[in-house]
Amino acid sequence: MELMTTTSTAKRHPRRPHVALRNAKTAAKREQRQVAERVLSEGLAQQSDAATAMAITDGHLTEAEVLAWRQDLNARIDVLLQHPEQNLGFIEEAMASAGKELMRQGTERACQAKANATPSCCPEHPDVELTQKKLLRRTVQARFGTMILFRTYGWCSKCEQWQFPADHALGLERNAPASPYLQEISALLTSKMPPEQAVLVAQRLGLDLARCFLHREAHRQGLKAQCARARWLAQLDSWDGIQSLAAHGEGPPTQPFSLIIEIDAWNIRERDEWGRTEELRQQGKKPPSRWHWVYVGTVFRLDHRVEGNGKRAVISERGYAATREGVDALIRQLHREAVQRGLGRAEQVLVIADGAAWIWNAVEDRFKDAHQRLDLWHADEHLWEVANDLYGKGTPEARNWVAPLLKQIRDDQTLHVIQSLGELKPQLTEVLQEKVQKQIDYFDNHRNRMNYKEIIEARKARDKGDVTPEQLLKAQTPLGSGAIESTCRQYQSRFKRTGQFWSTAGDEALMCLETFWRNDRWDHLYPHAKPSPTPSLALN
């Protein structure tokens, strides 16, 4: 506006340019003064806010604040009662929104009190008192909304860094605005569902999380989880670590138990040139994508596997391992998980999996003394393949041919199966001969892992009600790797959706978070998430 006026003045008085100049100078001076006044008053306001904040000691809400909340709440209830069509859902919404500001104030106050009470020592060197102390304001995104926090920071002469002891005490990260609860929720939602859904779900739960906030925070939490996993794995590498693992064991079991380990893999679609999708599209190129293997394993004690009503087994406690960083990475995780769940104390260790060579090589390497079992249904499938090739898929002839062989497998007569296939070969065409030979090799490779008879008989005896205690235990032993197959399906439901692509770093981080959750070790990342032994304090 100023500029336009001076221009028009200049036009009307072409012989007086100094007037325009003078006007412009006055305007500039006025603006400078206004800016200075604003900065000064903001500074004063901040100073007075800081002084108020630093004076907080007990972190309690005042009577007046609680009263204001009650009045607001009562007014909302009055409105609700005037609307008979509004159900309990509306009451719940009204309560939640009326309470939110009070909760925010209460959280901010308690947080400030905690910050004020934190000694100004270096978090990494508690014996070092910080010097050159100053006060700094920060904004925190927390469960009930945005909070302002003032805290002291200072210089640690030992680590030669500026340290923020209150941030450390409150669980705030250096350059991230999320409170520990929002750190957790970002990690949880993003590992369970795509971010665009997570934003909407969070909103319905009363949390306003922007997509970019969620994305950045989940990324940070994924890295945190991977660091925690690395520390957890490293426990097996040091004498101290092993000692502390032994000390934290569950103590001697009341009776001997078997440990079951199941291993499998599935593939995930990953996009190379991550972040360049749009650019490549504009150039008329399709972003390259590849399929990569995700390796998974599970470990549980047999006495934690209970057959429910419909004979569907339920495993009450089990450990998981999942990674796309290769077989060695999986086996290392799985071994650590097995140690945690009693590898050293188990009477017997049994590994069950399909016929993939990498699995059995890794097992020989890391679980040398374990019994091995080929998944019965994979063995069946290989026989069915021959039957279908010989007689056509689903024909009665195929069924008749395969039936006695399926029975032989269940009777641990794998050698007979191999023999029958061998006798069949000379009567076949070259193509079929090759196919049958492949299956002969398969059964020959795995015949020492095909041991089903004892379990099937124990199950029959149990069903008849004529069972020895030893048989009862045997009957519970799985014949196949169903537990890990269902685990794969569960991971896939998040990580393998139509049109979904992952980057290597992204999927490993999210899978790491998901595995912490599944292993019931979430509170290692978020200590506040540990269920409290007492549901609430008694209110008198």
Q: Is 523 one of the binding residues for Zn ion (CB under 5 A)?
A: no
- Please identify which residue in 76, 100, 125, 143 interacts with Zn ion, judged by CB under 5 A: 125
Q: How far is the CB of 245 from Zn ion (least distance, A)?
A: 30
Q: Near Zn ion by CB under 5 A, which window of 116-124, 302-310, 336-344, 421-429?
A: 116-124
Give every CB contact of residue 161 below 8 A, 6+ residues apart in sequence: 155
Please say which residue, 125 or 219, places its beta carbon nearer to Zn ion.
Answer: 125
Q: How far is the CB of 230 from Zn ion (least distance, A)?
A: 23
Any idea what DSSP says for residue 286?
P
Please say which residue, 151 or 518, places its beta carbon nearer to Zn ion.
Answer: 151
**CA angle, residues 92, 139, 116, in degrees to nearest 5:** 100
- Please identify which residue in 156, 189, 261, 352 interacts with Zn ion, judged by CB under 5 A: 156
Please say which residue, 159 or 313, places its beta carbon nearer to Zn ion.
Answer: 159
Q: Taking CB under 5 A as the criterion, which residues in 272-331 touch Zn ion? A: none
Q: Near Zn ion by CB under 5 A, which window of 1-9, 155-163, 345-353, 369-377?
A: 155-163
Q: How far is the CB of 536 from Zn ion (least distance, A)?
A: 38
Q: How far is the CB of 495 from Zn ion (least distance, A)?
A: 40
Give every CB contact of residue 306 below 8 A, 6+ residues apart in sequence: 313, 314, 315, 316
Q: Near Zn ion by CB under 5 A, which window of 77-85, 119-127, 413-421, 494-502?
A: 119-127
Q: Taking CB under 5 A as the criterion, which residues in 446-485 touch Zn ion? A: none
Please say which residue, 124 or 463, places its beta carbon nearer to Zn ion.
Answer: 124
- Please identify which residue in 159, 227, 280, 505 interacts with Zn ion, judged by CB under 5 A: 159
Q: Is 130 one of the binding residues for Zn ion (CB under 5 A)?
A: no
Q: How far is the CB of 128 from Zn ion (least distance, A)?
A: 5
Please say which residue, 131 or 493, places its beta carbon nearer to Zn ion.
Answer: 131
Any idea what DSSP says for residue 448?
G
Please say which residue, 141 or 163, places its beta carbon nearer to Zn ion.
Answer: 163
Helices 414-424 & 396-410, crossing angle to 10 degrees? 140
Please say which residue, 170 or 455, places its beta carbon nearer to Zn ion.
Answer: 170
Residue 124 neighbours by CB distance under 10 Å = 13
Q: How far is the CB of 160 from Zn ion (least distance, A)?
A: 8
Instruction: Please report the sign of the dihedral spanned by the C-alpha atoms of residue 455, residue 461, residue 465, residue 466.
Output: negative
Contact call for residues 236 and 242 (beta carbons, < 8 A): yes
Q: Near Zn ion by CB under 5 A, which window of 96-104, 157-165, 395-403, 483-491?
A: 157-165
Q: How far is the CB of 153 from Zn ion (least distance, A)?
A: 12
CA distance linking residue 7 with residue 12, whole number of Å: 9
DSSP states of 355-415 as a string? S-HHHHHHHHHHSTT-EEEE-HHHHHHHHHHHHHHHH-TT-HHHHHHHHHHHHHHHTT-HH
Q: How far is the CB of 134 from Zn ion (least distance, A)?
A: 17
Q: How far is the CB of 164 from Zn ion (least distance, A)?
A: 11
Q: How far is the CB of 269 from Zn ion (least distance, A)?
A: 45
Please say which residue, 90 or 155, places its beta carbon nearer to Zn ion.
Answer: 155
From 477, 482, 447, select the one nearest 264 (Cα to Cα).
482
**Number of Cα atoms under 13 Å in the Cβ half of residue 252:** 3
Q: How far is the CB of 152 from Zn ion (least distance, A)?
A: 15
CA distance linking residue 364 with residue 370, whole number of Å: 8
Q: Amino acid identity of 453? A: K
Please say which residue, 125 or 143, places its beta carbon nearer to Zn ion.
Answer: 125
Determine whether 239 is exposed, middle or buried from the number of CB atoms within 10 Å of its CB (0-12, 13-18, 19+). exposed
CA distance linking residue 52 with residue 42, whole number of Å: 15
Binding footprint of Zn ion, residue count (CB under 5 A): 6
**CA angle, residues 194, 196, 198, in degrees to nearest 5:** 70
Q: Is 158 one of the binding residues for Zn ion (CB under 5 A)?
A: yes
Q: How far is the CB of 162 from Zn ion (least distance, A)?
A: 10
Q: Taking CB under 5 A as the criterion, which residues in 388-427 touch Zn ion? A: none
Instruction: Please report the sign of the dihedral spanned by the C-alpha atoms of residue 202, residue 203, residue 204, residue 206.
Output: positive
Q: Is 122 one of the binding residues for Zn ion (CB under 5 A)?
A: yes
Please say which residue, 118 or 503, places its beta carbon nearer to Zn ion.
Answer: 118
CA distance linking residue 120 with residue 272, whole number of Å: 47
Q: Is 260 one of the binding residues for Zn ion (CB under 5 A)?
A: no
Please say which residue, 126 or 249, places its beta carbon nearer to Zn ion.
Answer: 126
CA distance linking residue 217 with residue 175, whole number of Å: 11
Give every CB contact of residue 239 below 8 A, 6+ residues apart in sequence: none
Q: Are strands 319-323 and 313-315 parallel, antiparallel or unpaired?
A: unpaired
Please say which residue, 152 or 476, places its beta carbon nearer to Zn ion.
Answer: 152
- Please identify which residue in 124, 273, 328, 397 interacts with Zn ion, judged by CB under 5 A: 124
Q: How far is the CB of 131 from Zn ion (least distance, A)?
A: 11
Please say which residue, 130 or 268, places its beta carbon nearer to Zn ion.
Answer: 130
Location of structure tokens 């197959």: 485
CA distance linking residue 443 with residue 464, whole number of Å: 32
Can you read off the two tokens belonging to residue 378? 């994979």
Interface residue list for Zn ion (CB under 5 A): 122, 124-125, 156, 158-159
